[in-house]
Amino acid sequence: MATVKHKILVLSGKGGVGKSTFSAQLAFALAAKDFQVGLLDIDICGPSIPKMLGLEGQDIHQSNLGWSPVYVESNLGVMSIGFMLPNPDEAVIWRGPRKNGLIKQFLKDVYWGELDFLVVDAPPGTSDEHISIVQFLQATGIDGAIIVTTPQQVSLIDVRKEVSFCKKVGVPVLGVVENMSGLCQPLKDFRFLRMTETGEHTDLTEKVIEYMKEKAPEMLDLIAASEIFDSSGGGAAKMCTEMGVPFLGKVPLDPQLCKAAEEGKSCFSEQKCSISAPALKSIVEKLMAKYWCKEMSVEQ
């Protein structure tokens, strides 16, 4: 860990908010800037990173220097407990001490070499596993935590606890990301259905698209948006103001980003993620400008 310049912890109050997706895309974005990047997945009971980086079925190897990460690119290495499971469907049923032991081993025994950034994808919530992670990382310095949430109150309640946890253990909150902040998708990519009272439906997509092509072709270029979560309480932005932590921005729910995660690809490498990629890029640029740009420009 002494050869790692910057360590970023990615947290969430609950599972299913897109924490691992954000961790993966943050690592891709930093690597695209020609930094040396490591991505460490220590979500022991739900290791998603191998899938999201296109590394399922890969094995890790041990050298005299320690465990060697699996490399997506020459400047992006990945380590996950998912690489150690003989069967991806196998549940990890471990008590706390064994989990904490593996976390410490991952943090201590993986040989990353010289890294500019290490992105640590942590388990959701606040448990003794998080205390172990923080205690070990603090010994060699930790930049802080990025907390990922969705807009609705049921998620923000747990994020408040996550912010409180960070403050109590002395981990700076680099900022909060509001993920799945409304569904955004080109109108032409939607399906159009006629529903009956019994739940049966008729697919009218082809007819609707043909009608728009004939009567209003400019509509096919529109982006349709829908607030799928209740954000009437002000969402993450209001919570950040109330708790005195930075708000990094919103990332819309983009089916193309979901597809990129399923295929283990960067959302920045192609033009398909035209809705979510600009939002993610803006968040990365905001982090760079606020925390690392001056130092990196001096070092380079």
130-143 confidence digits (pLDDT tens): 888 998 888 888 99
Q: In degrees to the nearest 10, what's the CA dihedral of 71, 72, 74, 76?
A: -80
**CB atoms near residue 226 (< 10 Å):** 10
CA 116 to chain centre: 19
Which residues have CB under 8 Å from 129's CB, separation 6+? 42, 44, 96, 99, 100, 103, 122, 123
Where along the chain do its domains lie?
4-182+229-299, 189-221
Residues 174 and 154: their CA atoms lie apart, in Å, by 22
Please report which confidence band the pLDDT of residue 117 belongs to, taking 50, 70 and 90 as the band edges: very high
CATH number for region 4-182+229-299? 3.40.50.300
Residues 256 and 274: their CA atoms lie apart, in Å, by 8
Average pLDDT over residues 255-276: 89
**Which stretch of 34-43, 88-97, 100-109, 135-144 has the lowest confidence by average pLDDT?**
88-97
> What pLDDT is recorded for position 223?
92
Average pLDDT over residues 52-79: 91
pLDDT tens across 10-51, in order? Answer: 999 999 999 999 999 999 999 999 999 999 998 888 899 999
